[in-house]
Structure 1
């Protein structure tokens, strides 16, 4: 019975210590950082949720594009998974027809597949991209003319 207060103090201090441990916590609700207009036209924000390291070989990034933005053609050395968390956009692989992507959609793009994805003409889009640690290979500029032709083609779909 005499040891009960000591046990209580010991457990309380362990609990406090556990609560104050440092965890790496991030949020996909954050806007992230405004991306420089290097491989896109319009406004884009990147939220680097998880960066690849020795223990986990994938990057997880949330990208948010304002309406009527473009993203250049590119490919990755590994597969890429895109999870649309808000809004509406476009996705296209080289040699295939473009499609509308919207909140709830999940797309897998296989390694070395040239593609692009971004917002629709009338809606911002936010998606989480999961991809390998190798750098993105940018292959061709996506022109405004081509983007607008896709927007016209997909209007109402």
Structure 2
């Protein structure tokens, strides 16, 4: 057993999100399982860029109200206790609604080269507004 001290809260990288995003890393990819886990918090209106994961992603909502959208226009509204599974390779985004913050645990499996995430362009204001509608 190993106790890992809490990681300090970091600001999400500006080139991967719109708005204010904060994260606390829980686990970084390492042998043998390469689990990547983070607590991610989005202020109202904040969202990730489009992205995909080589081996998929699981999002477990811990607080607030948010949105998860895919390239085909499918959007789900999520609240605390919901879990969303994004399949391997599916381009998607996630974030808060325009009026309420949202926090989730983000879980992925990486490998010895990183977390397996491919970051793409920002979600446009038009795409975000359509998701809210």
2:3 & 2:59 partners in 1: Cα distance? Answer: 26
SS in structure 2 at match of 1:121 = coil
Q: Structure 1 residues 97, 147: CA separation in 2 closer, same or farther (over 3 Å shift)?
A: same
Whether 2:13 is the aligned partner of 1:62: answer no
Bigger share in strand: 2
Q: Which runs of 5+ in 1 are unaligned?
A: 1-20
Whether 2:126 is the aligned partner of 1:145: answer yes
1:31 & 1:23 partners in 2: Cα distance? Answer: 15
Larger radius of gyration between Structure 1 and Structure 2: 1
Match of 1:102 in 2: 79
Measure how far apart 1:92 and its partner are: 1.2
Q: TM-score, normalised by structure 1?
A: 0.75
5 Å-filtered alignment, 1:17-96, equals 23-26=3-6, 32-96=9-73
SS in structure 2 at match of 1:149 = helix
Provide, for residues 55-110 of structure 1, a one-character-per-residue CA deviation record: whole Å limited to 9, x for no partner.
33110011101001122111000121000000111011221421111100001111
- Quote the RMSD (CA, aligned, Å): 1.9
8 A contact 1:83–1:107 mirrored in 2:
yes
Q: TM-score, normalised by structure 2?
A: 0.88
Aligned residue pair count: 129
SS in structure 1 at match of 2:123 = coil
Q: Which runs of 5+ in 2 are unaligned?
A: none
Measure how far apart 1:23 and its partner are: 2.3
8 A contact 2:39–2:103 mirrored in 1:
yes
Q: Structure 1 residues 103, 55: CA separation in 2 closer, same or farther (over 3 Å shift)?
A: same
1:71 & 1:94 partners in 2: Cα distance? Answer: 14
